[in-house]
Structure formats: C-alpha cells, structure tokens
C-alpha cells in the first residue's frame, strides 16, 4: 500500500515495528514542534550525536528524488550536488511529493522516513561527516520528537528499507 494511502498512525506503527524487529532501541526525546534548524537549536535539548538537517529534492524532470541528510549547520550548494549525483539541476520537491514518497509533512523530514518508501523511488545521500559520526539525530516521522540513532543501527535500518547510502562530502555554499 503506498504511504500516501496510509494514516499517520499506520506509518508510525510501521516505523516502530521495523525498529523493534531490527533491535534498534534509539532513545527518543519529545520536544515542541520544530520546522527549522533555528527552531531546533532553541527547542530541542542538547543530545548526544550529530545534529542533522534533511533536504527532500527532485531533479528537473521530477523523475529522480533524493533525501539528503546534511550537518545541521552546512549550507548545501544544490547546483554542485546535482552535478555530483548526475542529476542535473535539483530543486526542493513539493509537499505533495514528500507525502507521496515518504509519507511526511514538511518539518518532519528525516532519514527515518525512508521506511515509507517501499518502492525505492527515493535515493538516500548522506554527508560523509555524518556517516562517520557515532550517532545521528532523526525525527521519527513527526517534528515533535528526535531520536538518537547509533551508526550501526543506521546501517541496519538502511539495509532493511533497501536504501543503500550514497556517502559523499556534500558541496558547501560559501559562508556569508
């Protein structure tokens, strides 16, 4: 069943079931809803692991979709990233595409949303610094909580969802 046809509770249940089956017990921290990195800085308590931000992107023709997980404080150059991925010009995908492919609302985007991409339509890209971190932060399909996912658990999760990571040094925009 496509994720857009499942309720938010069904999608959350699917994530919980998968994490349980994989033996992933990532700590979950509840907090006020956050939509941006700046809000996260104010509202999310200091947690172990690397802070992230996530970009849901599409190519110009809308045929390829990418979930890009970057360090929270890195501005990513989309033009250079598109070249690196062989995708041409990239832009942010619409909320409708986000819902269709990952079953998520804006603000709740995280690598854990890959649990909803059973068709494998979304390519996963992660910055090398995050891949090498002991743990990363991820919203569990809602923006009112953050989980700390240890690296070994991240690898198991990605393998179980059929999303091999493309680990690269994301091209950074110059600091202003």
pLDDT of residue 13: 72
Task: With cut-offs at 50, 70 and 90, classify the pLDDT of residue 7.
Answer: low
- Mean pLDDT, the chain, rounded, equals 92
Helix (H, G, I), strand (E, B) or coil at 20: helix
High-pLDDT (> 70) share of the chain, %: 92
Q: Return the half-sphere exposure (C-beta side, CA atoms, 13 A cut-off) of residue 14.
A: 21
Structure confidence at residue 2 (pLDDT):
47
Burial annotation 18-40 (CB, 10 A radius, 16+ → b, else e): bbeeeebebeeeebeebeeeeeb
Residues near 115 by beta carbon (within 8 Å), at least 6 away in sequence: 11, 14, 15, 18, 141, 157, 161
Does the structure show a pLDDT above 80 at 5? no
Task: Encode pLDDT of 30-55 as tens digits.
Answer: 999 998 888 888 888 889 999 999 99
Main-chain phi, psi angles of 164, to 5 degrees = -65, 135
**Mean pLDDT of the 151-173 span:** 97
Predicted TM-score (pTM) above 0.75: yes
**Mean pLDDT, range 121-141, rounded to an integer:** 97
Whether the pLDDT of residue 176 is over 80: the answer is: no
């Amino acid at each position: 069943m496509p994720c857009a046809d499942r309720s938010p509770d069904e999608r959350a249940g699917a994530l919980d079931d998968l994490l349980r089956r994989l033996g992933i017990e990532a700590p979950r921290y509840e907090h006020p809803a956050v939509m941006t990195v700046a809000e996260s800085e104010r509202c999310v308590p200091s947690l172990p692991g690397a802070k992230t931000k996530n970009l849901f992107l599409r190519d110009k023709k809308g045929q390829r979709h990418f979930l890009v997980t970057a360090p929270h404080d890195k501005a990513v150059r989309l033009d250079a990233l598109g070249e690196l991925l062989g995708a041409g010009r990239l832009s942010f995908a619409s909320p409708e595409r986000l819902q269709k492919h990952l079953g998520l609302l804006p603000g709740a985007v995280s690598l854990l949303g890959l649990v909803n991409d059973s068709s494998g339509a979304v390519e996963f890209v992660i910055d090398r610094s995050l891949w090498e971190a002991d743990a990363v932060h991820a919203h569990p399909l809602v923006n009112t909580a953050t989980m700390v996912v240890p690296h070994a658990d991240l690898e198991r999760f990605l393998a179980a969802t059929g999303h091999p990571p493309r680990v690269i040094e994301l091209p950074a925009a110059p600091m202003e």
